[in-house]
Structure 1
């Protein structure tokens, strides 16, 4: 069946969601999150052949990085949204593959997007995107999550580090009103973008991971884990990743190589 064309936006504004291939974690640690935000920053500006800024490819109104996927509220400028997302993804995959010694795809082949044609839905998306970590149980309040754009709205992120066009939003919606909306929980059945109803896996502490290893594999130290049957070992690693343990965390705690852990079927 041929792919359906993306629905155009009358305003040039789109809600974009992109997920790791096979639901793979795409942000393993803080460095990965900061690298992706830096990539967003670089890709919004257009440069000439001499490296001088000469225009804007896009502007952002909101983002949220969620372990195995990200959300972005973006407006086209000098470049179509598809080209911008392609460049963002390509740049980040190059970084990720070099860092973790891997090859191949990281993201699903095609990102999801939907047009945003009115202020009412724009406001719903501001709430939905920023409430993702709260809905997932990662934090209790929107302001407590580090890897979203809310800090740019409430002033906890210094202006020099801001990448979103918050002033355009705040000129339309006073901060006090926006703050109340964003912290007013959306109904559980509000789900923007079709089929985007999977909650990201929660991060586990090292102690929690060991408790799970003991239950799953029946061992209490890394050397014993390395000695168990390879099939059982892979099954255990898959379950641990599904529960929310990161590749780096499992490598550190079990002594199993990153390459083995990364390609375990979850």
Structure 2
């Protein structure tokens, strides 16, 4: 039995989650976090999308985004392939980096947008190894990334 085809509604936002294979770390140092942000920026140049918020944890990440020109699957395929290549090369590994295809859920309304944003900002707080300061930095970085895409040159 094949996988179910993903539904893409260009005007809708999606909550996306990617987890490391066997729940292994996806990000081993701060440069890994920076690299995936650079990759998102490069992909944005090729396929414009709107990233409303994100949360990067050690072994998984959340994105809240939409892509009106290409399906979300195209954006995520590019991101996951590029990051897996980077990760395996940097750490001299082979094989899968991600557990499976990314999870995506369409966000249907404003309440859903707020709920997903709240959830993503609470995830680091509920884990044992994150401090309040790191949460604030994560939110600030998300804001700067969005601002740069909305108002280039800021």
Query: TM-score, length-normalised on structure 2?
Result: 0.85
The match for 1:44 is: 44
Which string of whole-angstrom CA distances, capped at 9 and with x for unpartnered residues, describes residues 140-178 of structure 1? Answer: 53x532663x1047xxx7xxxx3225998xxxxxxxxxx
- What's 2:33 paired with? 33
Establish whether residue 76 from structure 1 lines up as the match of residue 81 from structure 2: no
The residue number in structure 2 matching 1:198 is none
Q: Report the aligned-residue RMSD.
A: 2.4
Q: Does 1:23 align with 2:5?
A: no
- Stretches of structure 2 that go unaligned for 5 or more consecutive residues are none
Match of 1:163 among 134, 145, 151: 145
SS at match of 2:145: coil
Contact 1:15 1:114 in 2 (8 A): yes
Distance 1:106 1:120, change over 3 A: same
Larger radius of gyration: 1
Deviations 1:51-102 (A, max 9, x none): xxxxx43110011111111000011122210010010011111111111111
Q: Are 1:104 and 2:86 counterparts?
A: no
CA shift, 1:12, in A, is 2.6
Q: CA deviation at 1:37?
A: 1.4
Distance in 2 between the 1:164 and 1:79 partners? Answer: 19
Alignment of 1:137-156 (within 5 A): 137-141=128-132, 144-145=134-135, 148=138, 150-152=139-141
Provide the rounded CA distance (Å) in 1 between the counterparts of 2:45 and 2:97: 24
**Correspondences of 1:166-185 after superposition (within 5 Å):** none
Q: Which runs of no fewer than 5 residues in structure 1 stay unpaired? A: 47-55, 169-266
The Cα shift of 1:9 comes to: 3.9
Inter-CA distance 109–139: structure 2 relative to 1 (3 Å threshold) = closer
Higher-strand-fraction structure: 2
Partner of 1:67: 58
Q: Distance in 2 between matches of 1:147 and 1:33?
A: 12
Change (3 A) 1:166 1:127: farther
- CA–CA distance in structure 2, aligned partners of residues 128 and 41 of structure 1: 24
